């Protein structure tokens, strides 16, 4: 059961959730009539489902996708109209909800893959930046469009800057120019840009690669990047990383993986079908 909060039940079809027998969780933006633009209800539903994936021991990888021509057009027009009349305090609360959703996705202790077709504008670039891997169709377009409205991409900025670097971010934050999937790949925003026909199969291949690996090790490998990326390469870091691999080797999953390799068999976590 998804246990959607009662306040969101009337919007439950705006974001769809599924978990298959392999442990692949799929979260689908389902507002194609507005190019999957998000509002406060969509943000709350995404936060709910991201937390659900994080808690569920059966979920091994998350695919974030959307129905329709566009991945996500950013903020919903009607939502922006409502925000225009909000007080400062209400705007802070609203922004905090978006920031919390993004942080929940970014720190999710499972691998995350964004599957992108069509437009990914404004806040959608934040969603893409928060995912570990992003696969886009070659026809996809990206834009950090906030300054066109006299706004700034504040809540998404830590994740976008982490993905593409500060100098590149300065350009696209200020110009609000539209750029291609090919450019997005060169910038590091997306991992691969493939044809429309290859989009689903490319994501499926990555999913299979991930679920063939030790689930505890995959989560630990993701956390490893967060923990050491800004650390100086000194004796303390060398010791920390040595302790981590030693701990992993003597763990239940590590022992099973090594034994399976030496015995030339499949490890217990791998699908035998």
Tokens of 188: 């590091």
pLDDT at 1: 45
Would you state the pLDDT for residue 218?
Answer: 96
What pLDDT is recorded for position 250? Answer: 93
How does pLDDT run across 200-238, given as a tens digit for each residue? 999 999 999 999 999 999 999 999 999 999 899 999 999
pLDDT digits (tens, 9 = 90+) for 45-88: 999 999 999 999 999 999 999 999 999 999 888 888 888 788 88
Give the C-alpha separation, 147 to 76, whole Å.
16
Model-level pTM?
0.93
Structure tokens at 150: 């006299």
Lowest mean pLDDT across 80-84, 161-165, 242-246: 80-84
d(CA 151, CA 176): 11
CB atoms within 10 A of CB 80: 14
50: burial class by Cβ within 10 Å (0-12, 13-18, 19+)?
A: buried
Burial class (CB in 10 A: 0-12, 13-18, 19+), 195: exposed
Tens-digit pLDDT profile for residues 100-158: 999 999 999 999 999 999 999 999 999 999 999 999 999 999 999 999 999 999 999 99
């Amino acid at each position: 059961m998804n246990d959607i909060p009662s306040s969101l039940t009337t919007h439950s079809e705006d974001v769809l959730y599924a978990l298959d027998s392999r442990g692949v969780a799929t979260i689908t933006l389902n507002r194609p009539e507005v190019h999957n633009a998000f509002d406060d209800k969509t943000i709350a539903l995404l936060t709910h489902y991201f937390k659900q994936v994080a808690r569920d021991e059966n979920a091994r990888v998350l695919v974030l996708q959307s129905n329709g021509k566009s991945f996500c057009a950013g903020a919903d027009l009607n939502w922006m109209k409502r925000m225009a009349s909000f007080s400062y305090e209400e705007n802070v609360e609203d922004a905090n909800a978006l920031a919390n959703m993004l942080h929940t996705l970014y720190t999710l202790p499972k691998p995350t893959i964004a599957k992108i077709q069509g437009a990914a504008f404004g806040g959608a670039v934040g969603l893409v930046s928060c995912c570990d891997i992003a696969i886009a169709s070659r026809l996809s377009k990206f834009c950090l469009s906030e300054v066109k409205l006299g706004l700034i991409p504040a809540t998404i900025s830590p994740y976008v800057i982490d993905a593409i670097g500060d100098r590149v971010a300065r350009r696209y934050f200020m110009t609000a120019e539209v750029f291609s999937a090919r450019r997005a790949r060169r910038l590091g925003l997306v991992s691969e840009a493939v044809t429309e026909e290859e989009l689903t199969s490319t994501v499926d291949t990555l999913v299979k690669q991930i679920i063939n690996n030790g689930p505890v090790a995959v989560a630990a490998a993701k956390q490893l990047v967060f923990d050491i990326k800004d650390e100086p390469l000194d004796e303390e870091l060398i010791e920390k990383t040595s302790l981590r691999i030693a701990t992993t080797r003597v763990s239940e999953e590590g022992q099973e993986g090594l034994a399976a390799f030496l015995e030339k068999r499949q490890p217990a976590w791998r699908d035998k079908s």
